[in-house]
Amino acid sequence: MELSKRQEAILAIVKTYGPITGKEIADRLNLSRAALRPDLAILTMSGLLGARPRVGYYLTGKEPADVIAGVLGSVKVAQALSQPVAVRDTSSVYDTIVTMFVEDVGTIIVVSEGGFLEGVASRKDMLKAAMTGKNINKMPVSVSMTRMPNIVVTHPEEHVLQAAQKLLSHQVDALPVVVSVKTDSGEKLQVVGRFTKTNITRLFVQLAGK
Ligand code: ADP
């Protein structure tokens, strides 16, 4: 969160003189109370300033970084995910590459009938398959994907911060978003979305209010 010069000045005044009323802050800055209102609203909403009736504004002691961590920690994957782009496990490497281009994604989720997670095919997985020189029209995607149970997943209720940590620690670009469902052949993971580095970038820009 980037603070304006005026917001920085307000924080400095509250740090020295707090608790302090909005009117007193305005006087110190030679501004009207009304002119200050939007900045005070931003600073209290972001959690940097606290406000108590009849007492005034005070510093909460939170750093801007804490505020960002707080917001990221409270947003769930469900609020930031993208639609899944998937192919069936019976698809060829060729068709998977075509889907990557048509859907403009770097990671394809591979599913069995019913949309259950089987694997993940990345750009480099497909490049590697193509470089073998074999006929990629006849090569099933399942031979060059990373398959279950080695897939790192997230679920709609997970916090984006945790999902982001998984992307980093496993050094992958995307996570299938799954829900667990009971089937005749046991518990399976149904794919309901994908969570990628782009989702985090978008959230990051949204949080900055841009
Ligand atoms: P690229 O290989 O195109 O740079 P990634 O870094 O996402 O893309 O993928 C690296 C490797 O990790 C690939 O072999 C891919 O199959 C695998 N992979 C990608 N996403 C996941 C995931 N969510 N869980 C497990 N493995 C994955």
Taking the CA atoms of residue 167, residue 170, residue 173 and residue 178 in that order, the dihedral angle to the nearest 10 degrees is -70
Other Cβ atoms less than 10 A from the Cβ of 205: the count is 10
Measured at the CA of 32, the angle between CA 26 and CA 34, to 5 degrees, comes to 105
Name the token pair of 113: 């009938």
Q: What is the pLDDT of residue 206?
A: 78
pTM of the model: 0.75
Which pLDDT band, with edges at 50, 70 and 90, does 73 fall under?
confident
Ligand 1: centre distance to CA 172 (Å): 5
Q: What is the pLDDT of residue 135?
A: 97
Q: Answer whether 169 contacts ligand 1 (Cβ < 6 A).
A: no
Query: How much is the average pLDDT of 105-134?
Result: 97
Q: What is the pLDDT of residue 3?
A: 82
Q: Answer whether 124 contacts ligand 1 (Cβ < 6 A).
A: yes
CA distance 93 to 127: 10
Query: How much is the average pLDDT of 104-132?
Result: 97
- Going from the C-alpha of 48 to that of each of 7, 63, 74, 90, 209, the distances in angstroms are 10, 7, 17, 53, 16
Ligand 1: centre distance to CA 204 (Å): 23
Tell me: pLDDT of 33 over 80: yes
Counting from 1 in the atom list of ligand 1, the atom nearest the Cα of 106 is 3
Tell me: pLDDT of 208 over 80: no
